[in-house]
Structures are given as C-alpha cells and as structure tokens.
Structure 1
Amino acid sequence: MRIRYLMASLALILVASVTPATANDFEPQLKAYLEEATWIQDPAVVAAIEAQNAKHAGLADADIDALDKKWRAEKDSGSGPMIAEVLGNDLSKWLMQIKEDSNGLIAEVFVMDNKGLNVGQSDPTSDYWQGDEAKFQQSFGAGPDGVLIDEVEFDDSSESFISQVSRTINDASGNPIGAVTIGINVENLGN
C-alpha cells in the first residue's frame, strides 16, 4: 500500500513539473509580431485566398483527401507538379521574399484557404491540407479574431527553436476567408 502511495505521489509530481511547459514564454512578443505584421492582410494575400476559395468551392472531403495524398506523395519523392505549381505562384514567391527579408525571424510561412488547403508558402509543407490541425482549427475555426500561438519546439530543419503562430485572414468586410501560419524563430525575436 505504501509503495502504491509513493508511486502515485511521484506520478503527480512528474505531471506537475511537466504542466508549466504548456505556457509559451514568448507569447507577448509573438502577439505583438502578429499585430505588427500588416503584410498578413495585404490585398494580394486576400485576393489569392479568395481566388482559391472560389476554385475549391465544390470540393468534397474525398477530393481534399485525394489532393492531400497527391501532395504527400510528391513531397516524399522530392518534387512534383502540384508542389511546383503552389511554390511557383505569385503568393508563394512573395512569402519567400517576406521570409528572406525577416533576417532569420521567419522560419516558414504558409497561407491556407477556407478549407485549410495551402494557397501559398515559403517552403513545402509536409501535407497540403491543414484543416485537420490546430493551427487551422483554432485560428480560422475561431472566427475573424482567431489566433493560435503554439508551443516552442526545436525544429531540426532550421536547427532553431520555433513557435508557430496562426491567425485568421479576413476579407475587406471582416469575414474569415483563410488563415496564415508563421514559424517564428524565437531566438531572433526582438532583433
């Protein structure tokens, strides 16, 4: 009985010591970045999302799954026409420039339509459909003011500590049309 009590106590201590890690110490700076990043609502971003929303208006769940599978297969092989088309569009080129001009602050950035499908991106994402992920659900899914500031994690590809910040993108009338996710290198915040 005493061993069980001791084990239960140790488990509670372990859980309690892990729980504070859910707080993101950089949240105030990341929120400030989102407020200052006026490029997120640039008319070119809004127009690209609106065009893709119109193009994808009739997609069913099976169509989205098929597109996502095609993207993943191309990503696994290293290239393909679908990835090339997205990376070659004007929005992606502009996002690549935003990333480059950030002096290492932005590790990645991608814009999604109202279904969570990639519209433009600075780097190829692992999948095409973000609609099943918190970054989309807690930004776009939360309405016009939706924001998600994710935990800081070590990113192997950039070899830096990144926090993904996501927010809803609205049309000129304030209606949600898509979302953006920006991988911020927290080591470069304030530089």
Structure 2
Amino acid sequence: MRLVTTVAALLLAVPAIASDEFTPALEAYMNDEIMNWANAPEIVAAIKAQNDAHAGLTQTQIEEMDQAWRGTVATPQNDPIAPVLENPVADALRARIDASMGAMTEIFIMDEHGLNVAASDVTSDMWQGDEAKFQDTYGKGAGSVHISGVELDESTQRYQGQISVTIVDPETGSPIGAITVGVDAESLL
C-alpha cells in the first residue's frame, strides 16, 4: 500500500515528468506483451465486419451512437453497450487481462470510424475518433503507435498509461482500426 501511495503522490506532484519516466517501460511492454497478438485473426475479422456494417455512417450518426452509449453507461447490459461487451472477441480481451496478472487494466478495439468494436469493460464513450489514441494510430497509418501519459483513468480508477496501435488488414497492409491497452503504472515498477 505504501508503494501505491508513493506512486500516486509522484504522479500527482509531477505528472509530466512521471509520464516521461514511464514511456520507455510502456514501449517495452508494448513490444514484449502486446504486439504479438494485437493483429490476431479474430480481432481483424471483428473490425472488418464492423467496418462493413458501418460503411456510410455520417458524423451525425456517429455522434448519436456515442450519445446513446454515454446515456447507458450505468446499465451496460443495454444497447448499445451489450454487443461490444458480450462477444467472443471481448471475451478474449478479458482473458488477456486475466493472464496479465494485473498489468493490463482494459483493452478495447475500434473500427475505422473510432467506434468501439469489442471491449473488456465499459468505456466512458463509444466514439474514440476524436481522441489522440485513435487519431495518432489509425489516422496516421500502419505501424503508428500512441503512448499516453500515466494518469488516473476514470473507467478503471487506476493510474495507467494507454498504449494504442494501428490494426492492419494482413492481406492489404491497409489500416482498418486500432486497439488500446491500458497498463497499470505500478506493474511497470
């Protein structure tokens, strides 16, 4: 518990410095623990299926979907959240978190619009397309990575950094979506 208090105090006192100090550890975690499964066939298939289902969505429709999500966060068993949490890919994401022994706090994948496809847990919103985790990955193409600073995450209530990477179609090499993995800062110490 003392370590938790110390880490929290450091992060609150000097968040920019603490974030910079965690970046190499987050990069190492990404390379060692995430990149070997981020483009798994089931993840690629789920993103491609949602991209097909959402072809032609307007920005207004995306924002309406996001508002509907935000309105039901307290009751995640309802639409539109349930389909994102209750599918085989979401089950696989939760299994990855369980296998990480506390290092991973959340995982969610996004389609080409930045809309959630599958998630280990409820996210605060459905549309990630207006956030750096999506814009700096899918928006910049194959091989792009976004590593956030370490901060208290409102969804997980833990100090975490987020690692986001572009997901590509293995047949074409074209970006099709992105994945974000929350990593507990304490697990990196």
TM-score, with structure 2 as normaliser: 0.84
State the number of aligned residues: 174
2:38 to 37, 40, 44: 40
1:112-191 matched pairs, under 5 angstroms: 112-155=110-153, 158-172=156-170, 173-189=172-188
Percent identity (aligned):
43
On the 8 A contact 1:24/1:150 being kept in 2, the answer is no
Aligned to 1:84: 82
Residue range with higher mean Cα deviation, 27-36 or 176-185: 27-36
Q: 1:131 to 1:84 in 2, by over 3 A?
A: same
- Deviation, 1:130, is 0.4
d(CA) in 2 for partners of 1:157, 1:50: 26
d(CA) in 1 for partners of 2:25, 2:163: 11
**RMSD, aligned α-carbons:** 2.1
TM-score, with structure 1 as normaliser: 0.83
Q: Which runs of 5+ in 2 are unaligned?
A: 1-12
What is the identity, as a one-letter code, of the residue corresponding to 1:25?
E
d(CA) in 1 for partners of 2:76, 2:92: 22
What is the identity, as a one-letter code, of the residue corresponding to 2:126?
Y
Q: 1:168 to 1:78 in 2, by over 3 A?
A: closer
* Deviation sequence 1:2-25 (CA, Å, 0-9, x none): xxxxxxxxxxxxxxx979538521
Q: 1:91 to 1:19 in 2, by over 3 A?
A: closer
1:21 to 14, 17, 20: 17
Displaced runs of 4 or more, over 6 A: none
1:51-90 matched pairs, under 5 angstroms: 51-77=49-75, 79-90=77-88
What is the identity, as a one-letter code, of the residue corresponding to 2:112?
N
Q: Secondary structure at the match of 1:81?
A: coil
Ranked by relative contact order (alpha carbons within 8 Å, sequence separation 6 or more), the top structure is 2
On the 8 A contact 2:105/2:156 being kept in 1, the answer is yes
- Deviation, 1:39, is 1.2
Query: Could you say which structure has the higher helix fraction?
Result: 1
- Deviation, 1:125, is 0.5
